[in-house]
Structure 1
Amino acid sequence: MVVGLIVTISLPHHRPRPRAVHSTGPTPMNDSPLLNPSDDASASSGQAGNHDSPWIHETTAESFEQDVMVRSQQAPVVVDFWAPWCDPCRQLAPLLEKLVTEAAGRWHLVKVNIEDCQDLATAFQVESIPLLVSFLGGQPVDSVPGVPTEEQLREWLSRFVPSEVSVLMADGEELESEDPAGAAAKYREALVLEPDNAALKIHLSRAAITLGDNAGAASLIADLEQRGFLEPEAQSLKDQLDITTSASESGGVSQAREASEESPDDLDLQLKLAEALAAERQFEEAFEICLDIVARDRDGAGQRARDALVVCFGMPTANPELVSQARRKLATLLY
């Protein structure tokens, strides 16, 4: 196992050395009190033994692959090379435990006692401790020797550990198609942490439209508009809300259908019916009406119908299969 580690795991071609910015320097390996290692073993200050935290793990040469290589496929892993006799290691331990607990699973801490795992220390060319090595996707990506300050350690972790906001957003995106209410809850939780995050507001607006909360979506879009611009997705959501508002103000599907039946050649009335249908999520008929308008009039009302189709294609409640079919029909009509 360890021979394989030496072959497959290698940091960039430099050996870790102390950095001047560290408040406490690393302990050189040749300072190890190997002749009397038991003197300080009892003062390991939480380094040795079992940990209650599900995000802190002790490892050995035999379990390293599972503890680090496999685990880092799911979340970043920081390996802490330490020893019971190392004072800087004991100084660093509480800070590491504080930050990994605070992250609540966004990264894991795996501790390597070099007294018990000297082959691992050799594989990583460990010259001094403490030494932190970060892993992502089964590969080492960065290292920090010595004892950084909390600010320095947070900055280092931010390079590879996803933020709480990004995790909440990813969770929301995963939920959005099947559980829009759950997704909206994730987005709102993230907005508490970053209230000016435009991407979060767009995501929440989309979920709100799916849930039928057009007023809430409109409020979020209006807030984004105060910046003087809208991202393309935000503009698309605004257009969708405009269609819904217009349809509601015109009396909905029943009135729009009655008016279109009285004047079947009035393409603008046909378009209003299509928009009213889309607002009530009756997309199949809405698409067919718009496509018929385009077939009858390439310009004028036909152009407006094409614009309406593009807006409807982006509606989060539109059936993807129906959208694909309508896109193909529209392309056939135009080209």
Structure 2
Amino acid sequence: MASQSSWIIETTRDDFEADVLERSRTVPVVVDFWAPWCQPCRMLGPILERLAEEHQGQFVLVKANTDELPDIAASFGVQSIPAVFAVREAALVDQFVGVLPELQLRAWVKRILPSEAETLASEAAELERTDPKAAEARYRQALQERPNDIAARVGLARTLLAQAVIQEARQIIDELAAAGALDAEGQRVQAEIRVRLEAEETGSPEQARAAAEADPKNLELQWNLARALVAAAQHEEAMQICLRLVERDRHGLGEQARVLMVDIFRLLGPESDLANEYRRRLSMALF
């Protein structure tokens, strides 16, 4: 049914995950479950294809023949066709069954496309590594459209941090934290801000190590060394020192050390073997 087009795909069982789920992480995907014998499908299909061509890649239309892909159709809960699903970020965002009038279908497509603010935020995220200043400008534009967009606010804080504008980044994150709106990435940025601020207080790791070695029983100096090591991204040794402080002074410096370890876990991310190992060790020390 589909024409040859970059924005219209006839999928297969082997390619469905890549065509739909993976592709939806970068562009909205509209999945049209149809069959050659289905007359309503043959009415709806050309309209969807024309809209895909008109939108020039703003969404991708994936055609899924239910005769060839009955198991995939069943996994989507398809009971009658045509059945159309919108997928973004590998998640279902909207759907309908049957044939919609063209005006109604156009409105549906418009609804599932990214807003101007989302497009700006997506552009900003792509620019972060290469041009933080341009990324900052895009995030600010996005926030003019949607001031309460949490992901854009965290993104702005992240780009400010990359430019060493720490106080404004801190203000953004503090406001989100006060509202209980910090997601996992926001917590990671919050941890990085705290580490950056620690670096301003602790001096270099070499200075902190020399002081700690000169007075090894002084827990304050051990704590200062741990903070200096984190600021220098020497995470494992910092966590070793923090763990000892938790074991030796649980309700004093040990509590501050515990908080610092949690910040390191967030900096390293959930997939880090090092973070997971020290998370286990910290749990054993606490309980």
On the 8 A contact 1:100/1:107 being kept in 2, the answer is no
The CA deviation at 1:55 is 1.4
- Partners of 2:284 and 2:275 lie apart in 1 by 14
Query: Measured at CA, do residues 162 and 201 of structure 1 come closer, stay the same or move farther in structure 2, by a change above 3 Å?
Result: same
Q: For the residues of structure 1 that align with 2:59 and 2:97, how far apart are their CA atoms?
A: 18
- CA distance in structure 1 between the aligned counterparts of 2:271 and 2:86, rounded to whole angstroms: 37
CA contact (8 A) 1:106 1:162 kept: yes
Q: In the superposition, relative to structure 1, how do residues 285 and 82 fare at CA in structure 2: closer, same or farther (>3 Å)?
A: same
Residues 180 and 276 (structure 1), Cα distance of their counterparts in 2 relative to 1, 3 Å cut: farther
- Answer yes or no: is 1:215 the counterpart of 2:176: no
Matched, 1:106 2:38: no
Is the Cα contact below 8 Å between 1:221 and 1:238 reproduced in 2? yes
Matches within 5 A, 1:24-39: none
Query: What is the count of residue pairs matched by the alignment?
Result: 242
**What residue number does 1:153 align with?**
105
Give the alignment's TM-score, normalised by structure 1: 0.54
Distance in 1 (alpha carbons) for counterparts of 2:256 and 2:80: 68
SS of corresponding position for 2:275: helix
Q: What's the counterpart of residue 77 of structure 1? A: 31
Query: Relative to structure 1, is the Cα distance of residues 143 and 328 closer, same or farther in structure 2, using a 3 angstrom cutoff?
Result: closer
The higher-RCO structure (CA 8 Å, 6+ apart) is 1
Larger radius of gyration: 1
Please state how far the C-alpha of 1:65 moved relative to its aligned partner: 6.5
Matches within 5 A, 1:4-153: 53-56=5-8, 66=12, 70=16, 75-78=29-32, 81-82=42-43, 96-97=51-52, 99-101=54-56, 104=57, 106-108=59-61, 133-135=83-85, 141-143=95-97, 145=99, 147-149=101-103, 152-153=104-105
State the AA in 1 paired with 2:7: W
CA drift at 1:290? 0.7
- Separation in 2 of the partners of 1:303 and 1:93? 59
The answer to whether the aligner puts 1:314 opposite 2:266 as a matched pair is yes
Label 1:162 to 1:274 Cα distance change in 2 as closer, same or farther (>3 A): farther
Give the fraction of aligned pairs with identical amino acids, expressed as a percent: 23
Matching of residue 300 in structure 1 with residue 252 in structure 2: yes
The match for 1:181 is: 129
Per-residue displacement from partner, 1:229-287 (whole Å, max 9, x unpaired)?
35344355324312322223332212222222233222122111101101111011101
SS of the residue 1:108 aligns to: strand
1:288/1:145 CA distance change after superposition, 3 Å? same
Pairing 1:227-246 to 2, within 5 Å after superposition: 229=179, 231-232=181-182, 233=184, 234-235=186-187, 237-246=189-198
Please say if residues 168 and 186 of structure 1, whose CA atoms lie closer than 8 Å, have aligned partners that are also in contact: no
Question: After the TM superposition, which residues 240-279 of structure 1 pair with which residues of structure 2 at under 5 Å, given as runs?
Answer: 240-279=192-231
The answer to whether the 8 Å contact 1:281/1:318 transfers is: no
2:114 counterpart of 1:163: yes
Measured after TM superposition, the shift of residue 334 of structure 1 is 2.1
Q: What is the RMSD computed on CA atoms of the aligned residues?
A: 4.8
Q: Contact 1:244/1:275 (CA < 8 Å) preserved in 2? A: no
Contact 1:271 1:305 in 2 (8 A): yes
CA drift at 1:214: 6.2
Q: CA deviation at 1:105?
A: 5.4
Say yes or no: does 1:334 pair with 2:286. Answer: yes
Q: What CA deviation, in whole Å up to 9, does each residue of 1:194-238 have, x standing for no partner?
A: 3232123325655876xxx26256534423545653534435532
Stretches of structure 1 lacking an aligned partner (at least 5 in a row): 1-47, 58-63, 84-88, 113-123, 127-131
Distance 1:56 1:302, change over 3 A: closer
Structure 1: how far apart are the matches of 2:254 and 2:285? 11
1:283 equivalent in structure 2: 235
Once the 2 structures are TM-superposed, how far is the Cα of residue 187 of structure 1 from its aligned partner?
Answer: 7.4
Contact 1:187–1:200 at 8 Å: present in 2 too?
A: no
Retained in 2: the 8 A contact 1:247–1:279?
yes
> SS at 2:97's partner residue?
strand
Is residue 223–residue 242 contact of structure 2 (8 Å, CA) maintained in 1?
Answer: yes
TM-score of the aligned structures, taking structure 2 as reference length: 0.61
3-state DSSP class of the match of 1:142? strand
One-letter amino acid matched to 2:257: A
1:304 to partner: Cα distance: 1.4
| 8 A contact 1:260–1:269 mirrored in 2 | yes
Instruction: Note the residue ranges of structure 2 that are not aligned, 5 or more in a row.
Output: 24-28, 35-40, 66-78
Amino acid at match of 2:179: F
- Indicate if the aligned counterparts of 1:287 and 1:326 stay in contact, CA closer than 8 A: yes
